[in-house]
Amino acid sequence: EIVMTQSPATLSLSPGETATLSCRASQSVSTYLAWFQQKPGQAPRLLIYGASIRAAGVPGRFTGRGSETEFTLTISSLQSEDFAVYYCQKSDNWPPLTFGGGTKVEIK
Amino acid sequence: EVQLVESGGGLVQPGGSLRLSCTASGFTLSTYSMNWVRQAPGTGLEWVSQIRGSSTFRDYAESVKGRFTISRDDARNSLHLQMSRLRVEDTAIYYCARENYDPSHGYYLFDSWGQGILVTVSS
């Protein structure tokens, strides 16, 4: 089973700063990697799939990069609504479709 | 508008059973792979189960294999998760999620989620 590891666990930043989140796969997942945003009391929201493709309606300040085992999600110029928990997911349609443990982006 | 609504959650004793439902609107559920994902209190997301459009392929996380069964009712456009031999560690919010496919890029994506339903296993 492929394990997805996210770092850091918590990122403390101020509005306007840039957030860089990391996701590492224990084996290559090619570019079958998705990123989700989750706010308290809400369901996850798809941000990025195919490692770098923004989902419909996702602002351009969200950028996904990477392949094989190393991936990053960059959020440029953090807005108040971006403070949330972010999860990566192996998304190659071959279960288990493992999620990473999450990175919380909090206001400094 | 695509919508997924879960129901059937609640409080159950360890060893008991519960059946979750996810009713879809705005699309035909049987033409998509559908998934259950859960989130224990204060923790991250855990993929639980998937059923493909044909229903011939179903898979489960090791933590629920042999205890949970995923199924679909095409006439009611609904997805189900039959949970038996429940454990305290099954306590979580359970989400159903649609797996869509982007043919122009060749990727699968969990593009629609329900609001989630709470299952509490406790004596």
Output the tens digit of pLDDT for each of chain B's 123 residues.
Answer: 999 999 999 999 999 999 999 999 999 999 999 999 999 999 999 999 999 987 679 999 999 999 999 999 999 999 999 999 999 999 999 999 999 999 999 999 999 999 999 999 999
Closest CA to B72 of B32, B117, B108: B32
Kindly list the residues from chain A whose CB atom is less than 8 angstroms away from the CB atom of residue B107.
31-32, 49-50, 53, 91
Nearest-Cα residue of chain A relative to residue B105: A50
Sign of the C-alpha dihedral computed for residues A5, A6, A8 and A10 taken in this order: negative
Kindly list the residues from chain A whose CB atom is less than 8 angstroms away from the CB atom of residue B116.
43
Kindly list the residues from chain A whose CB atom is less than 8 angstroms away from the CB atom of residue B108.
32, 49, 91-93
Distances (CA, A) of A76 to A68, B77, B102: 24, 40, 26
Nearest-Cα residue of chain B relative to residue A88: B45
Position A92 pLDDT exceeds 90? no
- Phi, psi for A81 (deg, rounded to 5): -75, -5
Q: Does B31 touch chain A (CB under 8 A)?
A: no
